[in-house]
Homo-oligomer: A and B are copies of this chain.
């Protein structure tokens, strides 16, 4: 990790902030999950299965799935397994692709569109994209992947639960043979604290990733918790439609205040202050005066000090953000 990230709630201990800084659905009650884990008091006492085989089978199959400590571990493993590649990163996007690539001696080029990636050995695409919330259309993406069989496409679908647009399926990723699809239980179940994600792809690619990984990176509580959550997925609904509608309402309100927003297909919105003031100042002001945490997006490659990102929350909380921003614009 070189740059900072959102959800830096841990920097404000004791503050009960409304968290717009993370793209993850908030307000999910994890009491049942934690009570389940507490009933398995012997969990800490044994090493986890280093391959998390049982969880891998729930997620697909052991030879096409690699379970990782969040999707971010998969990003670092892929960069290492394909050390020294010519990588194109479609941005602005999540900074860990670049950090992982640079750490493992990739030659990195930043591009703004899939069609600019010709000549790259590896393409990193976040879809839906963080921080813009845009989705590359399914047919466009699949056609591009098929047209470039000697390029490896890393398609990070961590934010899949937050869009209604069609995305790559695991079987498409496996069948393509030149795709690693990343998924995150973090976003699906709102469990960033657990650190659990996975990669899906053809067995040859998965074997290459497994060959460079350390044992036991996913802890026993995370594996058990993930299995438990997957078995009860219907108790953890994510209403992508409503979240998107709220995001559009937020965007519209901000537009009326003169804050620029980009179109989004998700629950989160990339915004830009047009009054010349830095987003970092807005962030600190919102914490101090309104108990609201947003994401200063100025450290995304290609963005400016005026950019910030917010994820829509409940209508009531969104109203509080709108009112706070209205106050900011009059200062």
Query: Which residues in A have some Cβ–Cβ distance to B below 8 Å?
Result: 1, 5, 7, 9-10, 19, 22, 26, 28-31, 33-35, 37-38, 40-50, 69-70, 72-73, 75-76, 80, 96, 100, 103, 190-195, 212-222, 225
Which chain B residues border A220 with CB–CB below 8 Å? 192-195
Determine the residue in chain B with the shortest Cβ distance to A76. Answer: B214
CB-contact partner of A217 in B44, B190, B217, under 8 A: B217
Chain B residue numbers with a CB within 8 Å of A19 are 46
Complex: A329 Cα to B5 Cα, angstroms: 60
Q: Are B1 and A214 in contact, CB atoms less than 8 angstroms apart?
A: yes
14 new A-B contacts at CB < 8 Å, known A31-B38, A44-B193: A5-B47, A5-B50, A5-B215, A9-B47, A30-B44, A30-B45, A34-B41, A37-B37, A37-B221, A44-B225, A48-B195, A69-B216, A100-B214, A195-B220
Most buried by B among A7, A47, A80, A192: A47
User: When the two chains form the complex, which single residue of B33, B41, B103, B225 contacts A31, counting CB atoms closer than 8 Å?
Assistant: B41
Whole-angstrom distance between the alpha carbons of A50 and B194 in the complex? 13
Q: List 23 A-B contacts (CB under 8 A).
A: A7-B47, A9-B47, A10-B46, A10-B49, A29-B41, A31-B38, A31-B41, A34-B40, A34-B43, A44-B192, A44-B194, A48-B193, A48-B195, A70-B216, A72-B214, A73-B214, A80-B103, A96-B214, A192-B216, A193-B221, A195-B218, A217-B217, A219-B221
